[in-house]
Structure 1
Amino acid sequence: MKTLKFGVVAPVAAGVTADPRWMAAFARHLEECGFESIVVVEHTVLATRYDSVYPYDPSGRVELAADCPVPDPLDLLSFLAAHTDRLGLATGVLVLPNHHPVVLAKRAATVDALSNGRLRLCVGVGWLREEIEACGTVFESRGRRADEQLAVLRALWDVSTAGASHHGEFFHFDNAVCSPKPVAGKHLPVHIGGHSKAAARRAGRYGDGFQPLGVAGSQLEVLLTLMRDEAAAAGRDPSEIEVSLGHSVAKIDAERAQRLAAQGADRLVLAMPSITDLDQARDELSACAQRLRLVA
C-alpha cells in the first residue's frame, strides 16, 4: 500500500500568517502531529478591483480581502525553519512570473541550505493579471517565461558546472555562479501547480511533481494522463513525478486518503479552515492526525 505524505496549507484567509507567535506554534504543532510539510501561498499584491477570474471558486472571486496579510513565502518559510526541526517547507504556489529567476535561485537555495534541505517549491504561472502586471511581466507571456525560468533555476543550481550561461527570450547571462547550492546536490524539487492542460504538460516536461488542486474525477484523469504522456515524450520516467492532490483537514480520513492514493496521489495537500483561534487550529490538526493515524 502506498505511503501517503500529508502537507497542510497555512490558513492565509484567517489573516494569521504574518503573526509570528501564531505561525511558529502552528508549524511546531504540525511537526509534532507527524505531518510532512507546511504549505504557504503567495500573492505579491492583491487588488481592490480586478477583472481576472479566480479559477478555484465558482464565483470567480478569491476569498482573500485585498488587505489580507500575505507574507512573502520564502521569508515566511525561512522564519518557520528556525522554529522546526524536520517539517518540510513548501510553497503552494509561488507565482513564478513575479520573480526574476536568478534572484529566486539564490533565495530558494539559501532557505534550503539554512533549513538543511527541507524546501520544496511548487510554482505556477498565476491567474491575477493585475498582480502579474504590477510586478512588471506581460500577462500573456507568462507561460513561455515560466518555461525559461525553470531552465534558469536548474542551470544555476547545477553543481557540475563552474559557471552557468543562458541566452533566451527573457533572460541573458554568462559564467554565473550561484551559491549556496541545494542541499540534495542536484537541484531543489520544483513541482508545477495548476489545473490546466498547459500546467500538466509543463509538469511532464520539467516538474519534479504536479499539484492540480481543485481537480477531480475524469478531469483529473485527463490531466494526469497528459502529464505522464508528456514526460514519456521528453524521455522522463513519469513514475518519478510526484502527484499532490487536495483535500480538507476537517474532512479527510484514512479511507478517503487511500481512495486518492489509488487515483495517483503521492501527497495530499490539506486546506485548513479559516480559524483565528490557535488552540482551535491545533485541535483540528490533532484530530486530523488521529484519523490519518500519523506518527510523529
Structure 2
Amino acid sequence: MKFGLALTTRGRDATRETLARVSCAAEECGFDSIWVTDHIVIPSRIGSVYPYEATGTFDVPANEYYLEPLTVLAYLAGVTHRIRLGTGVLVIPYRNPIVLAKTVASLDVLAGGRLILGVGVGWMEEEFRALGLDTFGQRGAVTDEAIRLLRELWTRDEPQAGRFFRVEDIRFYPKPVQKPHPPIWIGGHTPAALRRAALLGDGWHPIGLRPPVGLHPEEYAQAVATLRRLAGEAGRDPGEIALTFRASLAFTDKPPSPRVPFVGSPTEILEDIRAYARLGVSHLVFGFRGPTVEVLLEQLQRFALEIRPAASDLS
C-alpha cells in the first residue's frame, strides 16, 4: 500500500514556505506522493452543483488565493527528491492538450519521472464560461479525445488529429521520462467516469466519503466490479488499472456516529485501510486538516509512527 498527502494550495497555507515545508515533511515521513487540486478562477456567482458537498454549494470566495497546480508541482519538484507529484485532479478541458502535453512532459523531465497525472472533466459550468469555453456540455468527449491525444504526443513521432483538436505536421519533444508516459489516473465516481477509467485510464482515482459521494467499502467494491467488467468488455486487462482512493483522515477518540472510515483511533484507521486494501486499492491519498501548520505536521508524524509501519505491506 502506498500513501499520498493532499496539499492545500489555496488560502493562508498556499505560500511557497508552507508548501515546501509540508511537502518535505511528507517526504521525510515516508509518504509516497503529494497531490494538488485545480481551479483557474472562482466565479462570483456559481449555480452549478458541487458534487462533494451535501448542500451542493462550493463554499470558496471569488477572491480566494488559489495557486495553479502544475506550477506548484514544478516548484515542489525542486524542493523534494523522491516523492511522487500528482494532480488530483487536473480539469482537462481547461487547457489546450498540446500545451498540456508539453507542460507535463517538461515537468516529468525536470522532476526525474515522478509525475502522476490525475484528470477529470470538471463540474463548474461558470468556470468554463469564464475561460471562454463553450464545451461544458461536451466536456466528457473533449476529455476523452484529449487523453488520447496526450498519449499520441508522448509516444508517437507523428500524432494524429481528432474531432476537437487539430494536429498537423508536428514533431513533439521532449517525451516524458516515464515510459510509455506518466500514469493517467481518472477521477470521478459517476458511470461516465468509470467508463473513462476502464477505457482510457492507467488508474481510477475517485474522491469519497464526502456526502453525497460515499464510496464506503461496499460501494467501492460495486464500482470496482463495474470498472473491471467494462475494462474486460473493452479488451483490456482489468488488473492493469490501478485502484486508488482519496479521503480525509482524522485522529480522534470521539468519532462521529455512525463512524466514517479513516476518522477514529489508529486501530480503527488501520482496519479501514485493510478494508480498502482487500478490495485491491494500492494507493490511498489522505487530506489532513489542522488549525495551524504545526498541527498538520504533527498529524503527519503520527501517521508515520502509528499507521505507516503496520500498513505498508498491505496489498
Which region of structure 1 is more displaced relative to structure 2, 192-201 or 177-186? 177-186
Q: Deviations over 1:127-154 (max 9, x none)?
A: 1111122221421110010110011000
Are residue 236 (structure 1) and residue 236 (structure 2) matched?
yes
Across the two proteins, how many residue pairs are aligned to each other?
Answer: 288
Cross-structure match for 2:154: 157
Give the alignment's TM-score, normalised by structure 1: 0.92
Question: Structure with the greater relative contact order (CA < 8 A, sep ≥ 6): 1 or 2?
Answer: 1
Aligned CA RMSD, in angstroms, stands at: 1.8
Q: Is the 8 A contact 1:117 1:182 kept in 2?
A: yes
Are residue 146 (structure 1) and residue 143 (structure 2) matched?
yes
Are residue 101 (structure 1) and residue 97 (structure 2) matched?
yes
Aligned-residue offset at 1:277: 2.3
Which region of structure 1 is more displaced relative to structure 2, 57-66 or 191-200? 57-66
Are residue 177 (structure 1) and residue 171 (structure 2) matched?
yes
Cross-structure match for 2:277: 261
Query: Which one of the candidate residues 284, 289, 294 is aligned to 2:304?
Result: 289
Alignment of 1:1-80 (within 5 A): 4-12=1-9, 14-17=11-14, 19-80=15-76
The code of the aligned residue for 1:255 comes to E
Q: Deviations over 1:154-175 (max 9, x none)?
A: 00000xx332221x22111123
Q: Is the 8 A contact 1:193 1:199 kept in 2?
A: yes
Are residue 211 (structure 1) and residue 208 (structure 2) matched?
no
Are residue 123 (structure 1) and residue 119 (structure 2) matched?
yes
| Structure 1 Cα separation of the partners of residues 205 and 59 of structure 2 | 20
Question: 5+ residue gaps in structure 1?
Answer: none
Specify whether residues 114 and 150 from structure 1 end up closer, same or farther in structure 2 by C-alpha distance, changes over 3 A only.
same
Cross-structure match for 1:223: 223
3-state secondary structure, aligned to 1:172: coil
Specify whether residues 66 and 294 from structure 1 end up closer, same or farther in structure 2 by C-alpha distance, changes over 3 A only.
farther
**Aligned-residue identity in percent:** 37
| Structure 2 Cα separation of the partners of residues 62 and 254 of structure 1 | 31
Q: Is the 8 A contact 1:204 1:230 kept in 2?
A: yes
